[in-house]
Amino acid sequence: MCVLGDFNQRIPATTWNAGYIQYLNNALGPDYAIHTAGVADIDGQQLIDHIATTRPLRFSLERTLSRNAAAGQKVSDHPALVGKLTVD
């Protein structure tokens, strides 16, 4: 079992990272599921921090947290991901 994350790539691919995504998919192969592909965060942006697992692990994204604090101050350049990691 394995969990990987923070590939710093948007999946599905955009025009600027299409070549890299092909390499990433080839490296991960069919054994990995990328659970956050195509998901937007609370700020409406496509997720960059992707989570991939091998069987029997499964990640369920429950919500994301903003990059900004309540007072509007930027906390991070990535949203936080809140979810559950379970075993099938």
| Residue 70 structure tokens | 């309540």
**76-85: pLDDT as tens digits:** 878 888 899 9
Where b means 16+ CB within 10 Å and e means fewer, 13-34 reads beeebeeebeebeeeeeeebeb
Per-residue pLDDT of the chain (88 residues; tens, 9 = 90+): 777 777 778 888 888 888 888 888 888 889 988 888 888 888 888 887 778 899 899 999 999 888 887 777 777 878 888 899 999 8
pLDDT for 5:
74
Break the chain into its structural domains and give their ranges.
3-87
| SS percent in the chain: helix, strand, coil, step 5 | 15, 35, 50
CA max distance for the chain: 43
| Residue 10 structure tokens | 């948007």
